[in-house]
Amino acid sequence: MLNTILTGEPSDRPPLLIVHGLFGSARNWGVIARRLGEDRQVIAVDMRNHGDSHWTERHDYFGMAEDLAEVLEHHGVSDVLGHSMGGKASMVLALTRPDLVRRLVVADIAPVAYGHDQIDNIRKMKQVDLEAIASRAEATEMMGDLEAATAAFFLQSLDLQEKRWKLNLDVLERDMETILGFPEVEGRFDGPALFLSGANSSYVTEDHHDAIRALFADPSFERIEGAGHWLHAEKPREVEAAVRRFIEG
């Protein structure tokens, strides 16, 4: 089963499963998990090929959805919050195993294929001479011309002691086209679904609403002002408030 970080105690409220995005981990959502865990249990996961979870030979959305279903079969029917890649995996979970999902929050992603890729970032991480570095500052220098915030985010997945990335960079690079795409899924999710996006992000636009409505019977849309794609890092209080309003109905 995926590595999980549990916050809060089981209560009369449904648990909340949090699913991070590409190159992330459960720990990226720690602040929001702690606040939402004040009155329910929050289950944050490391996705396959990330963090302390297992590595696989494939990184595809049906496999990721099966991983999430295994977690929910253990913890019970849950509300689900997924960001970016994790949002796509959460959508496939809701479409293929709607019996496990009560309410769905999809953060800044749509069920469509995107044209950008992250291959250059993977190659910059691969530039780091893991045997030679003694500090994260040295790793940052080896990655070259990355924005400071981007480098800091990647370095959360660098294990200096073990001299390794907690990311299966080879598989993520090979399956990047799959990660950027969205699979053909039979089914429709009839439960409530919130598509929460950053007002400064172009990942979810009105042009995507038809694709969303084709798969989700009861979608709502909300934008977080002043936030881009990394809305949970840029506006954590606002994201927390929006998620709380939605899952509390």
Residue 84 bears catalytic tag: yes
Is residue 72 a contact partner of residue 2, using CB atoms and an 8 Å limit? no
Residue 75 bears catalytic tag: no
* Rg value, the chain, Cα: 17
3-class SS at 228? Answer: coil
Q: Measuring CA to CA, which residue among 245, 193, 187, 202 is closest to residue 36?
A: 245
Q: Measuring CA to CA, which residue among 111, 86, 110 is closest to residue 22?
A: 86
Would you report the helix, strand and coil content of the chain in percent, each value rounded to 5?
A: 40, 20, 40
Catalytic residue from among 25, 53, 84, 201? 84
Catalytic residue from among 129, 159, 170, 190? 170
Bridge partners of 83, per DSSP, are: 107
Residue 190 bears catalytic tag: no
Catalytic residue from among 20, 50, 59, 229? 229
Helical ranges in the chain per DSSP H: 30-36, 61-75, 85-96, 119-126, 136-143, 148-155, 169-174, 176-180, 209-215, 231-234, 236-247
Residues with a catalytic annotation lie at 84, 170, 229
